């Protein structure tokens, strides 16, 4: 248990999750409600991500995983996809400047092959910087899909098995073929925007995660809302299938 002062100013003893994952949803609806282009919603959502990541670090979390761009998001209008990619490039550039100073590691989860050479270059650079750091880690799910991740893992295992590099398979062994190898499963998954589903996010890793849903759209998701999610998590009893 850890003490922290929530945004209402109360000092509470709460069970702080080791790993929180967030589906950053609602950017487009946020913009539409204000008569703005969807790209404005993504820009506002990016600012929210920065604030929430800082709050997670200050609370003592070890890992924050966010769903930034899914394998299905390519179906969106080309101008919207281009805007998202521009924001991602901007974020990675900022991260490269601040990672060492702020002690934040950054890890990309997803298939980078379809992305631009520039984004792949920046992702590789953040990975190199992260190797030199310890502490809080942000996992950015980029061109990521939970089912796609599992299929890729199965193919990699099959190749290694055929080559005689591995034998029988169990859950722990399979986990080593996932993008998240070496990263603990999320304790808490947060879904803003009122949707009540995981949307192909961390399908394998979420088996025993606690889920928290809120109607707040992602650009309006505040530090206080994060605190409420952690308060709700802290009140739950996690049995992992036991009695």
Active site residues: 25, 73
Query: By CB neighbour count within 10 A (0-12 exposed, 13-18 middle, 19+ buried), where does 70 fall?
Result: buried
Of 7, 109, 24, the residue nearest 58 (C-alpha): 7
| Neighbouring residues of 86: CB distance < 8 A, sequence distance ≥ 6 | none
């Amino acid at each position: 248990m850890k003490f922290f002062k929530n945004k209402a100013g109360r000092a509470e003893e709460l069970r702080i999750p080791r790993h929180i994952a967030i589906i950053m949803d609602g950017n487009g609806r946020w913009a539409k409600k204000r008569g703005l282009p969807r790209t404005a919603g993504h820009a506002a959502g990016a600012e929210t991500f920065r604030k929430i990541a800082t709050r997670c670090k200050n609370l003592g979390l070890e890992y924050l995983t966010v769903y930034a761009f899914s394998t299905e998001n390519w179906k969106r209008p080309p101008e919207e996809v281009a805007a998202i990619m521009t924001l991602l490039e901007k974020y990675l550039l900022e991260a490269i400047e601040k990672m060492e100073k702020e002690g934040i590691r950054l890890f990309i989860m997803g298939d980078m092959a379809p992305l631009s050479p520039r984004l792949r270059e920046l992702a590789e650079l953040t990975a190199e910087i992260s190797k030199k750091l310890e502490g809080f880690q942000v996992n950015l799910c980029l061109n990521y899909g939970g089912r796609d991740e599992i299929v890729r893992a199965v193919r990699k295992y099959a190749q290694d098995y055929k080559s005689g590099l591995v034998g029988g398979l169990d859950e722990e062994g399979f986990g080593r073929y996932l993008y998240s190898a070496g990263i603990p499963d999320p304790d808490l998954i947060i879904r803003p925007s009122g949707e009540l589903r995981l949307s192909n996010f961390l399908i394998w890793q979420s088996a025993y995660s606690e889920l928290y849903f809120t109607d707040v759209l992602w650009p309006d998701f505040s530090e206080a809302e994060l605190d409420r999610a952690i308060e709700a998590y802290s009140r739950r009893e996690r049995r992992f299938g036991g009695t």
